[in-house]
């Protein structure tokens, strides 16, 4: 009689507030990302992008509002939602004296991955030009190497929700290309992708549409084609002020 109910969005954020003492880093953000969709969070430094991403990843608790990951309430099911998410933090994100392989082993063990994770991990390390340093302590990594490894760690277990916070920051063109491929692969397998960046051009390449944040609020939502070219730059620039 009735069509089957549509699956819930992979990421659903309703009226999200994050406060640090008197500072309101995120003020009433709403967000919805469907499986297979890629959404960008754009904005200047301090706009609330990374804080929003940290809440989605389960690192920071929401001060108010609701976050659902594939329909699961993040507050009520913290462990279950963590299993569904892969997160690349905006800075660092690596345990300084562990090797990339040890990072991968830790994640694989805790996520209960089957034995095939090793092949996928090796493939990703090669794609990100990190194969030769898989067993080297990460403290000596350059910034770009660290960013590339963070993307690998976020993606290698095939999460339902891939969260990439500033994944292109300080990364060379080959690394950017590999990251865009990872995003495309994740979408192809039905994952929802959220990319936080201040780089409009790369957001256009990586996302279907983007939300522009300013002062902790969403001040505009644009499709990728609306962000393209000179006209898109003008629109984006106008939303930043």
Told to check if 99 binds another protein by CB under 8 A, we report yes
Q: Is the dihedral of CA 202, 172, 163, 38 positive or negative?
A: positive
User: Least distance to another protein from the beta carbon of 68, Å?
Assistant: 17
Judged by DSSP in three states, 133 sits in: helix
Contact between 14 and another protein by CB under 8 A: the answer reads: no
Helical axes 173-188 vs 143-155, angle rounded to 10°: 10
Give the whole-angstrom CA distance, residue 9 versus residue 12.
6
Nearer to another protein, 44 or 111 (CB): 111
Show contacts with another protein in window 101-130 (CB under 8 A). Answer: 101-103, 105-111
For residue 118, the number of C-alpha atoms closer than 13 Å in the C-beta half-sphere is 2
* Piece of 36-44, 81-89, 206-214, 222-230 that binds another protein (CB under 8 A): 81-89
- The Cα 26–Cα 55 span in angstroms is 10
The phi and psi torsions of 18 (rounded to 5 degrees) equal -130, 120
Contacts (CB under 8 A) with another protein, residues 25-54: 54
Output the CA torsion 129→171→39→234 (10° steps). -150
71 forms part of the interface with another protein (CB under 8 A) = no
* Integer Cα distance of 181 and 25 in angstroms: 31
Q: How far apart are CA 204 and CA 229, in angstroms?
A: 10
CB atoms < 10 A from the CB of 40, how many? Answer: 28
Among positions 9, 89, 175, 232, the unique one binding another protein when judged by CB under 8 A:
89
Rounded to a whole number of angstroms, the minimum distance from the CB of residue 70 to another protein is 15
Q: Please provide the distance, in angstroms rounded to a whole number, between the alpha carbons at the two ends of the chain.
A: 51
- Does residue 153 touch another protein according to CB under 8 A? yes
Among 135, 173, 230, 241, binds another protein (CB under 8 A): 135
Q: Is 82 in the site for another protein (CB under 8 A)?
A: yes
* Least Å from the CB of residue 4 to another protein: 30
Under rule CB under 8 A, residue 136 binds another protein: yes
For residues 36 and 19, what is the distance between their CA atoms, to the nearest angstrom?
Answer: 31
Segment interacting with another protein (CB under 8 A) among 37-45, 100-108, 177-185, 231-239: 100-108
Least distance (Å) from another protein to the CB of residue 106?
Answer: 6
Q: Which residues bind another protein (CB under 8 A)?
A: 54, 57-61, 78-79, 82-83, 85-87, 89, 91-99, 101-103, 105-111, 134-137, 139-140, 150, 153
């Amino acid at each position: 009689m009735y069509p089957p109910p549509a699956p819930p969005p992979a990421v659903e954020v309703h009226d999200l507030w994050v406060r640090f003492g008197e500072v309101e880093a995120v003020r009433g953000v709403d967000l919805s990302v469907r499986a297979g969709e890629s959404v960008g969070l754009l904005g200047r430094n301090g706009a609330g992008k990374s804080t929003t991403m940290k809440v989605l990843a389960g690192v920071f608790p929401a001060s108010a509002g609701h976050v659902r990951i594939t329909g699961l309430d993040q507050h009520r099911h913290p462990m279950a939602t963590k299993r569904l998410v892969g997160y690349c933090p905006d800075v660092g994100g690596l345990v300084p004296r562990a090797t990339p392989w040890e990072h991968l082993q830790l994640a694989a063990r805790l996520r209960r991955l089957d034995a095939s994770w090793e092949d996928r991990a090796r493939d990703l390390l090669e794609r990100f030009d990190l194969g030769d340093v898989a067993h080297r302590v990460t403290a000596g990594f350059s910034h770009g190497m660290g960013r590339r490894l963070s993307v690998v760690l976020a993606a290698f277990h095939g999460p339902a929700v891939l969260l990439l916070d500033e994944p292109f920051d300080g990364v060379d063109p080959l690394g950017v290309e590999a990251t865009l491929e990872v995003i495309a692969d994740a979408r192809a397998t039905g994952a929802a992708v959220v990319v936080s960046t201040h780089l409009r051009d790369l957001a256009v390449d990586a996302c279907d549409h983007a939300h522009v944040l300013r002062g902790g609020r969403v001040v505009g939502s644009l499709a990728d084609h609306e962000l393209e070219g000179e006209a898109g730059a003008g629109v984006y620039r106008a939303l930043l002020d």
